[in-house]
Amino acid sequence: EELAYGLHGGALETSLMLHLAPGMVHRDALADFTPLGARRARAGHTLGPEGEAGFAWMAEDLNPAGAAGNAAMADAATGARLVTLFAQRLADIVLETATFDLTLFGAGRDHR
């Protein structure tokens, strides 16, 4: 549920912050900020902040605290693993972009 609805200030973002900038995290405020999307999904609704029938939202719409997710689940070790994963994915994308065959676009056209 956290992966689907922890959109802002939940376990993932807070874990990243605990790893990257632990002094900026107010640990006494970490809590389960149950988001509107999770509550609506549990009630069987399709319309929500994400998914097949999404609506526009601001963080306070999802939870009055302005966070959406379970920040109490966060830890620095998870943040470190996420940073490694994201850095590797970014490096893969940069390398793939650098070697992308541009002739796949409009093959045979004059590109001057």
Please state, in angstroms and rounded to a whole number, the distance separating the CA atoms of residues 76 and 12. 10
Domain positions in the chain:
2-98
Q: Could you tell me the pTM of the whole model? A: 0.82
Q: DSSP state, 9?
A: S
Q: Residues near 67 by Cβ (< 8 Å), separated by ≥ 6?
A: 8, 9, 10, 33, 59
Q: pLDDT tens for residues 65-105?
A: 999 999 999 999 999 999 999 999 999 999 999 999 998 99
